[in-house]
Amino acid sequence: MQTIQQFPMERARSRVNAVRGLYRHFLNSGRSKKERRGLRLLQDWLSPAQRYQFEKFRYFDVVGCTSGRLYRIYYTPNPPNVYEINGIGRKKGLCFAPVGSLVQGDVMLAQKIALETDEQSALAIANVIPGPRRI
């Protein structure tokens, strides 16, 4: 009796996984090989919590190494894509990126590493976009 009840659930999981695979294939089909490699490299460097955030919301949070401030890095080519988040959900934009023509995944990885390893230098070169707004 228990196998009969489990069978529909396994079938549903199989269908959900198939739909997820098609969705990922559809999303990746429009991206260049460089973009896909950049995103794959970024995801390899993310913690499990950051990877979950990125897959679900297309952003992830980073804690600054010096100040302990919370930063949110969004997957968007439009600057700013890095925001400092304070305790009440307000944010200010920070605009900094590595030099060169890089795909978005590589830019986000460089921003993550900069904030986690040398926050003060990253903030020193960043252009700040004031005007805290709600998340």
- What are the tens digits of pLDDT across the range 60-104? 999 999 999 999 999 998 889 999 998 777 788 999 999 988 999
Of residues 30 and 103, the one with the higher pLDDT is 103
Q: What is the DSSP-derived secondary structure letter of residue 65?
A: T
Tell me which residue range forms the domain holding 43.
31-130
How is the chain split among helix, strand and coil, in percent rounded to 5?
A: 55, 20, 25
**What span, in angstroms and rounded, lies between the C-alpha atoms of 24 and 19?**
9
The answer to whether residue 10 is domain-embedded is: no
Predicted local distance difference test score (pLDDT) of residue 7: 59
In a domain, 49, yes or no: yes
Mean pLDDT, the chain, whole residue set: 85
Which SS3 state, helix, strand or coil, does residue 91 take? Answer: strand
> How many separate domains does the chain show?
1
**Residue 131 phi, psi (nearest 5):** 95, 70
| Highest mean pLDDT out of 2-6, 19-23, 60-64, 76-80 | 60-64
74 part of a folded domain: yes
Assess if residue 115 is contained within a domain: yes
pTM score: 0.73
Asked if residue 90 belongs to a domain, the reply is: yes
The reply to whether 12 falls in a domain is no
